[in-house]
Amino acid sequence: MNLPNKLTMFRVILIPFFVVFMLADITTADKWIALTIFIVASLTDLLDGKIARKYNLVTNFGKFMDPLADKLLVCSALICLVEMAKLPAWMVIIIIAREFIISGFRLIASDNGVVIAASYWGKFKTTFQMVMICLLIADIAAIQIITNVITWAALILTVVSLIDYLVKNKEIMKETK
């Protein structure tokens, strides 16, 4: 269990705490505690990959758990935001559907011995989703227009990254013998 994998597991462990503070009425600072947890978890996502690549600590466990931890964190946040009526369910369905489609695609590719790296569109999508989630949690009226623009940008990037992914990897869907 190297450092990048520990960071990934730490991110997974943070998710239930994040959800509790998002949805429970424990203190007057719930949303700020949830936001802090989300930011810390998001930073572990940034760090674990950089550390793994820089120090050649890439493992099969990390290849599996890192994207899973990312999806769990983002999907948990999005579902909480729907529950809190801060984000429409249809947007969340599009975002989560994209994740399922890409995961299925990667599974098929893996069965064919192909590893598909994340694209720049996917990285932009992730960045915008993380910023969107932070802004929606903070819920600052003075920057509502910025929050709306980032939310729409995240949704558009979600769709663009899906299309880019499917077009660049269309050969994966062809049957192999």
Give the Cα separation of 146 and 29 in Å (integer).
Answer: 23
* Tokens coding 138: 């903070």
Q: Percent of the chain having pLDDT more than 90?
A: 72
Confidence band for 177, pLDDT divided at 50, 70 and 90: very low
Check residue 72 and give its pLDDT: 95
Check residue 63 and give its pLDDT: 83
Task: Record the pTM.
Answer: 0.91
Residue 176 pLDDT greater than 60, yes or no: no
Residue 35 pLDDT greater than 60, yes or no: yes
Confidence band for 154, pLDDT divided at 50, 70 and 90: very high
Q: State residue 79 phi and psi, 5-degree precision.
A: -65, -40
Least confident of 12-16, 38-42, 61-65: 61-65
Residue 67 pLDDT greater than 80, yes or no: yes
Per-residue pLDDT of 71-118, as tens digits, reads: 999 999 999 999 999 999 999 999 999 999 998 888 888 888 887 777
Residue type, 146: I
Mean pLDDT of the chain: 93
Per-residue pLDDT of 124-140, as tens digits, reads: 999 999 999 999 999 99
Check residue 109 and give its pLDDT: 85
Check residue 107 and give its pLDDT: 84
Check residue 175 and give its pLDDT: 59
Q: Which of 74, 73, 66, 68 is nearest to 92 (CA)?
A: 74
